[in-house]
Amino acid sequence: MNQIVWISKAEKKTKNEIGEKGYNLGKLKQLGLPVSEGFILTSDAFSEFIRKNNLKNKINRILERTDHTDLDEVKKTSNEIIGLISNSEIPEKISDSIKESYEQIGLSKEVRNAGESAVELVEGRENQSISIRYSLPEKLYTLRQTLSPEMNVNGKRDTVRDIKNMWKSLFLQNLFISY
């Protein structure tokens, strides 16, 4: 199970795991167009987060008991699910992968390929600013319009935190009402 895919390595066979935007960025990069290197956290990582924290059944039970026509109940449901996610830990394997990938953003291919000692020489770049965006399947196009990216994220810890915030926002009340 791949949890990280670099934009330059995005392929058609990974499209379901990385989403439409991630796949298209990869195609553009591979064509030689000016696309910044970055990494894509796959849907497998989110699924692993849900699985490791035993959230699937809890979320399903909450959703099943919700009257989606009652706006107050929808708001309560949204807050309850967001609370579950807030109180859950991103598994260490995923968190470490995110942090390691963050460290490699902006490094030349030569430095990345030279090995750990070369990367260590240029580590500590905690001030590099990145953005975190959703990359959802095409069938969820209108949902993509509702979700906004996290911009100007700095540091490994903030990156992990803001990815979790993005996952929480999948359960915002306006999404329950719209869909």
| Gap between the Cα atoms of 174 and 172, Å rounded | 6
Question: Taking Cα atoms as reference points, which of 61, 63, 14 lies closest to residue 41?
Answer: 14
| Nearest residue to 168 (alpha-carbon basis) of 61, 48, 56, 84 | 84
Q: For residue range 32-57, list pLDDT tens digits in order.
A: 999 888 888 888 999 999 999 999 99
The residues near 124 (Cβ < 8 Å, ≥ 6 apart) are: none
Q: Looking up tokens 């994220």, which residue turns up? A: 153
131, 153 Cβ separation under 8 angstroms: yes
CA angle 46, 169, 142 (to 5 degrees): 95
* pLDDT recorded at residue 179: 45
CATH of domain 4-178: 3.30.1490.20
Tens of pLDDT along 138-152? Answer: 555 555 555 555 555
Per-residue pLDDT 10s for the chain (179 aa) are 688 898 888 998 988 888 888 898 899 999 999 988 888 888 899 999 999 999 999 999 999 999 988 889 989 999 999 999 999 999 999 999 988 888 877 666 665 566 665 555 555 555 566 666 655 555 555 555 555 555 556 667 777 888 888 888 778 766 665 44
What global pTM score does this model have?
0.77
